[in-house]
């Protein structure tokens, strides 16, 4: 088991997130749990991931998101060498958006 799952409290957090009923409840949960700067960082990283996944280049991403090159590099590393879950979720969102159109 990876080290970050060793604590029961960590597992409980992910179980709680998985049990949120919809996007609005999820937003409220994170508003309660995180500071504004923490939420901004998470939202920025997700936007960077979407743009990288869409084939955008670093300079364009920096202009659009105001993320540092270090942040973009870190997210790119996760997309290329992580578990693949972030890409999977982005692709699911893209597919859902395409079906709505």
Rounded CA-CA distance 14/23 in Å is 15
Task: Give the model confidence (pLDDT) of 35-90 as tens digits.
Answer: 999 999 999 999 999 999 999 999 999 999 999 999 999 999 999 999 999 999 99
Kindly state the helix (H) or strand (E) to which residue 70 belongs, with its residue range.
Answer: helix 69-81
Q: Which residue segments constitute the domains of the chain, with CATH numbers given?
A: 1-33 (no CATH), 35-101 (1.10.1270.10)
Q: What confidence category does residue 1 fall into, taking pLDDT thresholds of 50, 70 and 90? A: very low
Q: The whole model's pTM is what?
A: 0.84
């Amino acid at each position: 088991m990876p080290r970050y799952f060793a604590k029961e409290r960590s597992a409980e957090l992910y179980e709680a997130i998985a049990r949120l009923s919809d996007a609005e409840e999820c937003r409220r949960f994170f508003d309660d749990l995180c500071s504004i700067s923490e939420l901004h960082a998470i939202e920025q990283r997700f936007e960077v991931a979407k743009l990288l996944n869409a084939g955008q280049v670093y300079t364009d991403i920096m202009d659009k998101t105001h993320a540092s090159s270090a942040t973009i590099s870190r997210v790119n590393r996760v997309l290329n060498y992580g578990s693949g879950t972030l890409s999977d979720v982005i692709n699911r969102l893209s597919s859902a958006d395409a079906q709505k159109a």
